[in-house]
Amino acid sequence: MRYRTLGGTGIEVSVHCLGTMMFQNGCNSDHDDCVRIIHAALDQGINFVDTADMYGQGESEEIVGKALRGRRDDIVLATKVHFQMGEGRNRSGNSRRWILKAVEGSLRRLNTDWIDLYQVHRPDDSTDVEETLSVLSDLVRQGKIRAFGCSTFPAEEIVEAHHVSERRGLARFRTEQPPYSILARGIEASVLPVCQRYGMGVLVWSPLAFGFLTGRYRKNQPIDLSTGRPTIRPERFDPTIAENGAKLDVVEQLVELAASIGCTLPQLAIAFTVAHPAVTSAIIGPRTMPQMEDLLKGAALTLDDATLDRIDEIVPPGTNLYNPNAPLPPRSLTDTALRRRPLADRAAA
């Protein structure tokens, strides 16, 4: 496994990050099996684990806490705050009141004294960003977190947060966690260039496009909307919807491309994300041991220019298939040198 520095933090993290959203009731609720998967990932060189308080209302954090006993010092641990936790008011959002309470809950469930990367899971229009940055800066000074970042923030809100940090003398967002895949390349236009400008680390989520790039969903084949991910967002998988039909057309082309270079579709999809020079790490979120083993088999996969050119033909740079009315692409999309690491530095292992 290769490692990259997480923004300007000096913290070295594996190019694959183990995401634990699937470790909860309704996905994989077998805690012992989840612990085995985490241990297997660590044994393969992954040192970066990402979770969130809202995954299973804390269940995922509890599983991660069990798995990291005796190995905490070797792991870069990331979690997130924002979404509703339990019933009642003021149990969500980015306010000082909630973050101070939420971090204590995460520390307890994770069975740790500190969190390496504490991320704001989504923007909160009801809370001044200065309020959020202020409490996160306090938590760094208290030693409860080492660094903090944001997740799924638009480029303009990342810029605003950095300006507020500079004006008010507060610590700043060190990372961004955006969705990124071959089917959702919109962040190449502005989010990734902004992160590069501010020296932020980037850990991308959903590199398999909510399961569309697993190879499980194919054109002209029945899609069961009653099990798995389609039960969460059936509108994303219903083949009668034109947008989904377009995604299935793309999947067929990508399956052919993956076969031509001797890899699986998921391996192709994840290798694509970590080839971008702005991306530090890609979050893989297996539910089972075989899923994780298959993904890690592709860790050493290097996508050459011809392969990346073909991907660009199938899904043009900056194109987000969930938004067909994308604006004209800036240079960050048209210049391949700005979207691809040197050939020798593209693989995760």
Q: What is the pLDDT of residues 315-336, one digit of tens each?
A: 999 998 854 333 445 677 778 8
Q: Is 224 helix (H, G, I), strand (E, B) or coil?
A: coil
Q: Report the C-alpha gap between 164 and 173 in whole angstroms.
A: 11
Return all residues near 291 (Cβ < 8 A) that are at least 6 apart.
none
Q: Report the C-alpha gap between 178 and 211 in whole angstroms.
A: 16
Catalytic residue among 3, 55, 118, 180: 55
Q: Report the C-alpha gap between 130 and 160 in whole angstroms.
A: 10
In b/e form, how buried is each residue of 183-214, taking b as 16+ CB within 10 angstroms? bbbbbbbbbbbbbeebebbbbbbbbbbbbbbb
Q: Report the C-alpha gap between 310 and 250 in whole angstroms.
A: 12
Q: Which two tokens stand for residue 46?
A: 């992954």
Task: Give the model confidence (pLDDT) of 158-206 as tens digits.
Answer: 999 999 999 999 999 999 999 999 999 999 999 999 999 999 999 999 9
Q: Which two tokens stand for residue 345?
A: 């530095």
Q: Residues, the chain, total?
A: 349
Which helix (H) or strand (E) segment is 50 a member of?
Answer: strand 48-50
What is the rounded (10 degree) CA torsion for 38, 42, 48, 53?
20
Pairing of strands 201-204, 281-284: parallel
55 is known as an active-site residue: yes
Q: Report the C-alpha gap between 64 and 94 in whole angstroms.
A: 23
pLDDT tens sequence for the chain (349 residues): 999 999 999 999 999 999 999 999 989 999 999 999 999 999 999 999 999 999 999 999 999 999 999 999 999 999 999 999 999 999 999 999 999 999 999 999 999 999 999 999 999 989 999 999 999 999 999 999 999 999 999 999 999 999 999 999 999 999 999 999 999 999 999 999 999 999 999 999 999 998 899 988 888 888 877 776 777 677 777 888 888 888 999 999 999 999 999 999 999 999 999 999 999 999 999 999 999 999 999 999 999 999 999 999 999 999 988 543 334 456 777 788 888 999 999 999 8
Q: ∠ CA 227-231-237 to the nearest 5 degrees?
A: 95
- For residue 330, what pLDDT is reported? 62
Return all residues near 340 (Cβ < 8 A) that are at least 6 apart.
275, 276, 277, 305, 308, 346
- For residue 326, what pLDDT is reported? 39
Return all residues near 256 (Cβ < 8 A) that are at least 6 apart.
none
Q: What are phi and psi of 197, to 5 degrees?
A: -60, -40
- For residue 245, what pLDDT is reported? 87
Asked if 64 and 51 touch (Cβ cutoff 8 Å), the reply is yes
Q: Report the C-alpha gap between 269 and 254 in whole angstroms.
A: 9
CA distances, 113 to each of 48, 103, 146, 175 (Å): 17, 11, 11, 21
Q: HSE-up of 128 (CA within 13 Å, CB side)?
A: 7
CA nearest neighbour of 338 among 193, 202, 200 = 193
Angle, helix 129-142 to helix 155-168, in steps of 10 degrees: 60
Return all residues near 325 (Cβ < 8 A) that are at least 6 apart.
none
Q: Which two tokens stand for residue 128?
A: 């001044």
Q: Is 154 helix (H, G, I), strand (E, B) or coil?
A: coil
- Residues paired with 115 in a beta bridge: 145
The pTM score is 0.90
Identify the sign of the CA torsion 205, 209, 214, 216. positive
